[in-house]
Structure 1
Amino acid sequence: MQEQETTADKSGTKVNSVVKAIGILRHLAQTQLPEGVNAIARQVGINPSSCFNILKTLASEEFVRFDKETKTYSLGVGVIDLAVSALDPDAGFQRTRPILERLAREHGVTCGLWRKQEDRLILLGTAESESFARIRFTPGNRLPMYIGAMGRCFIARAGMGEAEIDKTIASLKWASAPPLSRYLGEVRRAAVAGYAVDDGDFLQGITSVATPLISREGSITHCIAATTFKGHLDTAGLKRLGEAVKKASEKATPLLWSVR
C-alpha cells in the first residue's frame, strides 16, 4: 500500500516527506560521526528507500554532505546558513564584531553580543582575547533575561518594586544567589553607571560586566557582556572595563539600527 503524503493531527496537516527530512536533519545534528543510509533510516524510523531519496535531495541542496568514499552522510553547510539567519537575522554580530574584538583584545576578556528574545537572551557571537586561559561560550546559548550582569541591566530599567525583584531573583538558578539588599544596590549603581557587574553570583569563579543596547523606542534589544575569571580584575580594573563596555555599546548601537 502506497504511503500517504500527509498525516493529520490536532495541530493540522503534516507533510510526511517534510517530517521525515526534519527528522533526518535532527538526527544528523546529534550524531558524532557520519552515518550510512541504513543506520539513519533505522534511527529515524523510516524505510531505507525513502531515507535514501530524502538524503539525495538534501545533499543536492547542501543541507547534508555525502562522502563518496565511505558512503555516509553528515550535516551540510546549507544548515549553517539557515541557522545563522535564524539566530541573527540582522547580522548584528558581524556588524559589531570589530568593536567586540577590540574590547576583548585590550582587556583580556571574552565579549559576547546577546539578543533579547521574549523572556530570554540568546548569544549571537563572541570575541575572545588571546590569553592562554580564556572563557569560551557557544553561539546560540540561551539564558533567562534577568540572570547575571545582563539581568541587572534589564531590572534597572524595568520599574520593578522590591518584592517583585526579590521574587524574580529567587526564581533563577544562581551559583550563589545574591542577597536582596546587595542586589538592589547593584541595580541602582547599574542604572547610574550604565553598566552592571556580576562577580561570581551567576557562574562560580566568573565575573561579567554588561551594558544594554537601547532601541529608538527606548527598550533593551541587545546586551554586550564582557566575561573574565573572578579575581582577574581589581575594583579599579572592573570600573575601567565597565566604562569600556559602555563605550562599546554606544558605538555598536547605531550599527544595529542602521538597517531598520
Structure 2
Amino acid sequence: MQDLALLDANGDPDFMTSLARGLAVLRCFSDERRPMTIAQASRLTGLSRPAVKRCLHTLVRLGYAAQEGVHYALRPKVLSLGYAYLSSSTLAMRAQPLLDELRDELHESCSLGVIEEDEVYYVARAEVSRIMSIALRAGSRLPLYCTSMGRTLLAGQPRATQEAYLRRTDLKPLTANTETDPAMLLGVLRHVADEGYAIIDQELELGLRSIAVPVLGRDGVMAAVNVGTQSASVSLAELRSRFLPPLRRVARELAAGGLHNP
C-alpha cells in the first residue's frame, strides 16, 4: 500500500511494518468483499501474497479471522477492536442517546461522523430503516467530497487543507449529480462554512438526500451530525425547514460538553 511505503521510507526505527501490514489486511475486508482469498487481499492492499498469507495466518491463530479452503473471513472477535474505541469515546457515548431521540423525532436515520484519513468515519448511528444500497453503522467510511458530513467537516478546515485534499483525492462521479470539479467544490465548501450546514442531493447515491451540521469543539469543528432520507419523500425545502433546527439543537448539546477533537 502507498501509505505503508511512505512510512517505511521515513526510516522511523519505532515503526512496526509487520503490524501495519496486518492492520492493512484487516481493513481490506468490507461488506462488499467477504470472504476473500489471499490473491484478492494482496491486490487490495498492495502487499505481496506471502506477506498477506502470513498476516491472515496470524489473524486466524489469534481468533480474528477464520479460514475455509482458500477463503478467509473475519470472526466476531474483531468487534472488540472497535468497541474499545466506542466504549472509551466521550463523544460517541454522548451522541448515541441524542441521535436516538433525533431519529424518533424525525423518523429518519441519523449519524455522527469525524474525519479520519480523508474519509468520514461513522462513530455513532441511529437507524430507522436502510435507505442506502450499502449498510451504514459505527465504523463505516464514506468519501468526504460527496457526503453532507464530509463537506461539513471539510468546510471547517483551512483553505490550504481543503485544496490539498482535493488534489490528492480521486473525485469520482458516483452519480450523475456528483460534483467533481475542484474549483466548484471549493465554492461549495465556502457556502457550507457561511451557512453552517451542508446538503447533498443524490450525489452519493441516487434517491438519497442528507443534511449535516458541524459539532464545534474547543479546537474548531470536531464532528458532524446528519440526517439522511429518501429524495422522493422529503424535499430540499423540508430539509432546511424541518430537519435543520433539531439537527442544530443536537449539535449544540454535543458542543456543550466542551470536548476536544477526537
| TM-score (norm: length of structure 1) | 0.61
Shift of residue 259 of structure 1? 11
The alignment partner of 1:153 has SS state of helix
| Residue of structure 2 equivalent to 1:6 | none
Please say if residues 173 and 202 of structure 1, whose CA atoms lie closer than 8 Å, have aligned partners that are also in contact: no
Asked if residue 241 in structure 1 is aligned to residue 243 in structure 2, the reply is yes
Counterparts in 2 of 1:255 and 1:76: CA distance versus 1, 3 Å: farther
| Residue of structure 1 equivalent to 2:229 | 228
* Structure 2, gaps ≥5 residues long: 1-7, 37-51, 67-71
Letter of the aligned partner of 1:211 in structure 2?
A: V
| Residue of structure 1 equivalent to 2:84 | 85
Counterparts in 2 of 1:83 and 1:193: CA distance versus 1, 3 Å: same
| Residue of structure 2 equivalent to 1:41 | none
Shift of residue 134 of structure 1? 3.8
Please say if residues 88 and 124 of structure 1, whose CA atoms lie closer than 8 Å, have aligned partners that are also in contact: no
| Residue of structure 1 equivalent to 2:213 | 211
Distance 1:119 1:151 in 2: 9
| Residue of structure 2 equivalent to 1:37 | none
Letter of the aligned partner of 1:232 in structure 2?
A: S
| Deviation readout 1:151-201 (Å, 9 max, x if unpaired) | 43245444649x959x66x9522322348779847852x334422111112
| Residue of structure 1 equivalent to 2:142 | 143
Aligned residues: 218
Counterparts in 2 of 1:32 and 1:214: CA distance versus 1, 3 Å: same
* Structure 1, gaps ≥5 residues long: 1-8, 34-43, 66-72
Match of 2:193 among 187, 191, 201: 191
| Residue of structure 2 equivalent to 1:257 | 259
Please say if residues 105 and 128 of structure 1, whose CA atoms lie closer than 8 Å, have aligned partners that are also in contact: no
Shift of residue 85 of structure 1? 2.8
Identity %: 22
Letter of the aligned partner of 1:112 in structure 2?
A: S
The alignment partner of 1:224 has SS state of strand
Please say if residues 155 and 187 of structure 1, whose CA atoms lie closer than 8 Å, have aligned partners that are also in contact: no
